Amino acid sequence: MTDLRQQAQKAVRSLRARKPHLDDASIDVILRDARSHYSWTDKPVDDEMLHTLFDIAIQGPTSMNTCPARIVFVKSGAAKDRLAKSLKAKNIDKMRAAPVTAIIAWDPLYWQKLDFLFPHEDRKPLFEGKQEYAHDTAFRNSTLQGAYFMIAARAMGLDVGAMSGFSNKIVDEEFFSENGWKSNFLCNIGHADETALFQKLPRFEFDDVCEVI
């Protein structure tokens, strides 16, 4: 265990030496000048890119390394037909036009994987039989993982457009009736058609919503 700790510390120091921070252009790409997109070109997103995207996003931190998020990548026409059943009318065309729509979900039984994810200490008793705590941890951290997923996609040169205008109940019945996963939100992925963009909407200033105490 001591050797593993030292290796981890060395890796972090090496990373900081190689890349202390992102440059301004990189920050612009992932957040500052990034946009949510709702119109798409026909340029495909292949499965290899989806694997890479997952491999990057899964590295984001979660509470006790619980990693509760589960993702279904909807690509085929048949799968899009199933997903369309859950969507508000105005979102159906957006989903169908995107090369991929990710269902960001979470597994209620995520904590049963903690022997693998958190091997140095048994944390399963914190969750077993504690439904509210287990739910809150899963929902909070799967949402975080969804955000990592979106930022990772942008970092890879992809565009994203998150959607919440759908029925979680229908998605869960259609896609998760066997494994019991629960949908959180949807995210279209692809290469955007920028001609559909409108002006960027306002954001708060620091003093509007922040305090330093």
Range in 3-7, 19-23, 48-52 the model is least confident about: 3-7
Q: What angle do CA 43, 101, 145 make, to 5 degrees?
A: 120
Contact by Cβ (8 Å): 188, 73: no
Residue 40: φ, ψ to 5°: -135, 150
The two three-digit tokens of residue 75, written as one number:
């690509």
Residue with tokens 């958190």: 118
pLDDT, average across residues 6-17: 94
Neighbours of 163 (CB within 10 A): 19
pLDDT for the residue numbered 2:
78
The two three-digit tokens of residue 113, written as one number:
């994987």
User: What domains sit in the chain, N to C, each tagged with a CATH number?
Assistant: 35-197 (3.40.109.10)
Nearest to 184 by CA among 154, 159, 163, 160: 163
pLDDT, average across residues 71-83: 98
* Burial class of residue 170, CB neighbours in 10 A (0-12, 13-18, 19+): middle
pLDDT, average across residues 66-93: 97
pLDDT for the residue numbered 86:
98
pLDDT digit string, tens, across residues 88-114: 999 999 999 999 999 999 999 999 999
Nearest to 101 by CA among 81, 77, 76, 75: 75
For residue 169, the one-letter residue type is: K
Contact by Cβ (8 Å): 61, 12: no
Q: For the whole prediction, is pTM greater than 0.85?
A: yes
For residue 51, the one-letter residue type is: H
Contact by Cβ (8 Å): 190, 100: yes
pLDDT for the residue numbered 112:
97
End-to-end C-alpha distance for the chain, whole angstroms: 39
pLDDT digit string, tens, across residues 137-180: 999 999 999 999 999 999 999 999 999 999 999 999 999 999 99
Contact by Cβ (8 Å): 40, 188: yes
Query: Please, what is the average pLDDT of the chain?
Result: 96
The two three-digit tokens of residue 54, written as one number:
């997952």
pLDDT, average across residues 46-71: 98
pLDDT for the residue numbered 137:
98
pLDDT for the residue numbered 3:
87
pLDDT digit string, tens, across residues 173-210: 999 999 999 999 999 999 999 999 999 999 999 999 99
pLDDT for the residue numbered 173:
98
pLDDT for the residue numbered 93:
95
Neighbours of 177 (CB within 10 A): 9
Q: How many residues does the chain have?
A: 213
pLDDT, average across residues 129-136: 96
Residues of the chain with pLDDT > 70, as a percent, come to: 100
**What three-state secondary structure class fits 188?**
strand
